[in-house]
């Protein structure tokens, strides 16, 4: 008689986006004449860059010709893409990453979930609170998180690192020592970043305590300030304690196209076992490579034209971010994020809960955002707006909020 993985049964329902959907549908049914503006979107909305579309077309043509047809991609990714990444994402920032430390995948979500495969179930994880839910839920599935306390919204074996206005939305070194530390900067949902010197403290801490950092840099292209690191490997010693996860989703609009990569440096070792070898084995066994046409299209963002076109896309969203940040500030809100990230995180006014504020915005000005409490207990009393809407809608949304 087979048994299921009962860890899945421990997962609390993810009601955040379904509840939002339900509330919006109810509102629309009752108010068909009202124009709703959605600033809760965690997905890009601009089309793919022209260089990417062109390369997709030519790559498809190659697949239709015997001489240039490609079957299975190399397990770890095509060299042309890994070389472009090593050069443009790392060497250009003074970081030496060799191509056999780069593993191409179908995205950062898969990688951040799958990476747990190479770690024992008896590792204690530390996460920021609020957090991108994938880090926690995949560890629940693996049986690493203990029991869920619904009142607290917390797992018994997870170390939570609160990120609130009090610490400027940057986690503090935990009192209890974790084995695996998840960090994401620029952050989703808070939009916060930390400076290089602060990230160095995490690297030093991990090296000293024997922890590994899983660093999600999916939003690095949104960094506008100088002293904010784009890669954790800009910090001394990080190659011996950190895995970095990257994505083409937010920097090049690949959310529906699917491409990402993970860096596992060879210096990263448990005793004399290289994590790089374990991940290579895992990747080779359970993944048959991202499609050639997608990897070819991804490599197009590293051409001069590609860099310019993707930079313009990011700039479009960041103009929205600025409008939201300044609009909310003018309207008297306490706001963070939106400078190095497409997310704006605001304190709800008058001690409203995150969901009370959601209803208030929806009913009064017909704007949809995301309640902060959906990302973890320390998100209560906060609210997330995103810069992924259109410029026109973003402007109109701020006009409406200012008139509230």
Ligand X SMILES: *Cc1c(COP(=O)(O)O)cnc(C)c1O
Task: Please report, in range form, the residues annotated as the binding site for pyridoxal 5'-phosphate.
Answer: 72, 108-109, 132, 188, 219, 247-249, 258, 288
Q: Which is nearer to ligand X, 181 or 398 (CB)?
A: 181
Mark the segment that binds ligand X (CB under 6 A) among 101-109, 119-127, 200-208, 269-277.
Answer: 101-109
Token pair for 98: 């060799």
Which range, of 104-112, 122-130, 157-165, 201-209, touches ligand X by CB under 6 A? 104-112
Residue appearing with tokens 């590994």: 212
Binding of ligand X by 190 (CB under 6 A): no
State in angstroms the smallest separation of the CB of 328 from ligand X: 21
**Those residues with Cβ within 8 angstroms of residue 273's Cβ, 6 or more apart along the chain or in another chain:** none
Q: Does 116 bind ligand X (CB under 6 A)?
A: no
Q: How far is the CB of 204 from ligand X (least distance, A)?
A: 24
Question: Does residue 343 interact with ligand X by CB under 6 A?
Answer: no
Q: Where does this chain touch ligand X (CB under 6 A) — which range of 69-77, 105-113, 151-159, 226-234? A: 105-113
Backbone angles phi, psi at 127, to 5 degrees: -130, 155
Let me know: does 169 contact 344? Beta carbons within 8 Å.
Answer: no
- Residue 363 CB, shortest distance to ligand X, in Å, is 28
Determine, following the binding rule CB under 6 A, whether residue 44 of this chain makes contact with ligand X.
no
Paired strand residues for 50: none
Annotated binding residues, written as ranges, equal 15, 42, 72, 108-109, 132, 188, 219, 247-249, 258, 288, 384
Q: How many CB atoms lie within 10 A of CB 349?
A: 14
Residue 108 binds ligand X, judged by CB under 6 A: yes
Structure tokens given for 255 = 């959310």
What residues form the annotated binding site for substrate? 15, 42, 109, 132, 188, 288, 384
Is there binding between residue 45 and ligand X (CB under 6 A)?
no
Q: Nearest distance from residue 85's CB to ligand X, in Å?
A: 14
14: exposed, middle or buried (Cβ count in 10 Å: 0-12, 13-18, 19+):
exposed
Produce one character per residue of 319-330: b if its CB has 16 or more CB atoms within 10 Å, e if not: ebbbbbbebbee
Site string for ligand X, 205-244 (x = CB under 6 A): -----------x-x--------------------------
Residues 118-137 touching ligand X, rule: CB under 6 A, are: 132
Return the H-helix or E-strand segment holding 125: strand 125-129
DSSP per residue, 352-402? --HHHHHHHHHHHH-EE-EEGGGG-GGGTTEEEEES-S-HHHHHHHHHHHH
Query: How many helices and strands, by DSSP H and E, does the chain display?
Result: 13, 17
CB 193 within 8 A of CB 219: no
Site size for ligand X, by CB under 6 A? Answer: 13
By CB under 6 A, is residue 247 in contact with ligand X? yes
Q: Determine if 389 is a binding residue for ligand X (CB under 6 A).
A: no
Interacting span for ligand X (CB under 6 A) from 157-165, 203-211, 246-254, 287-295:
246-254
Q: What distance in Å separates the CA atoms of residue 383 and residue 253, rounded to the nearest whole number? A: 24
Nearer to ligand X, 177 or 224 (CB): 224
User: Where along the sequence are the contacts to ligand X (CB under 6 A)?
Assistant: 107-109, 132, 184, 188, 216, 218, 247, 249-250, 255, 260
């Amino acid at each position: 008689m087979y048994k299921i993985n009962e860890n899945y049964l421990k997962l609390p329902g993810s009601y955040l986006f379904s509840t939002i959907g339900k509330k919006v549908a109810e509102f629309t049914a009752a108010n068909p004449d009202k124009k709703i503006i959605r600033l809760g979107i965690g997905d890009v909305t601009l089309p793919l860059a022209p260089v990417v579309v062109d390369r997709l077309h030519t790559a498809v043509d190659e697949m239709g010709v015997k001489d240039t047809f490609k079957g299975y991609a190399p397990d770890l990714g095509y060299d042309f893409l890994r070389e472009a990444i090593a050069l443009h994402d790392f060497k250009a920032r003074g970081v030496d990453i060799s191509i056999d430390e780069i593993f191409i995948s179908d995205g950062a979500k898969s990688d951040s979930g799958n990476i747990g495969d190479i770690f024992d179930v008896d590792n204690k994880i530390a996460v920021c609170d609020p957090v991108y839910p994938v880090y926690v839920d995949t560890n629940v599935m693996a049986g690493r998180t203990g029991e869920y306390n619904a009142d607290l919204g917390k797992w018994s074996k997870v170390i939570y690192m609160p990120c609130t206005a009090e610490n400027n939305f940057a986690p503090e070194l935990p009192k209890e020592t974790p084995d695996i530390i998840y960090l994401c900067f620029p952050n989703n949902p808070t939009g916060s970043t930390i400076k290089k010197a602060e990230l160095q403290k995490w690297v030093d801490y991990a090296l000293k305590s024997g922890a590994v950092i899983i660093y999600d840099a999916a939003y690095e292209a949104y960094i506008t300030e100088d002293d904010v690191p784009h890669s954790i490997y800009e910090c001394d010693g990080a190659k011996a304690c950190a895995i970095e996860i990257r994505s083409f989703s937010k920097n090049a609009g690949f959310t529906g196209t699917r491409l990402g990569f993970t860096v596992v440096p060879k210096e990263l070792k448990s005793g004399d076992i290289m994590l790089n070898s374990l991940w290579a084995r895992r990747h080779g066994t359970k993944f048959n490579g991202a499609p050639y046409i997608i990897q070819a299209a991804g490599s197009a963002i590293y051409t001069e034209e590609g860099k310019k076109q993707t930079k313009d896309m990011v700039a479009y969203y960041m103009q929205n971010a600025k409008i939201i940040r300044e609009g909310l500030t003018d309207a008297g809100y306490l706001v963070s994020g939106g400078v190095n990230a497409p997310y704006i995180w605001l304190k709800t006014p008058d001690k409203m809960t995150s969901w009370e504020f959601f209803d208030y915005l929806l009913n009064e000005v017909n704007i949809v955002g995301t309640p902060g409490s959906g990302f973890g207990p320390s998100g209560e009393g906060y609210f997330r707006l995103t810069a992924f809407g259109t410029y026109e809608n973003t402007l109109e949304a701020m006009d409406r909020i200012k008139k509230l």
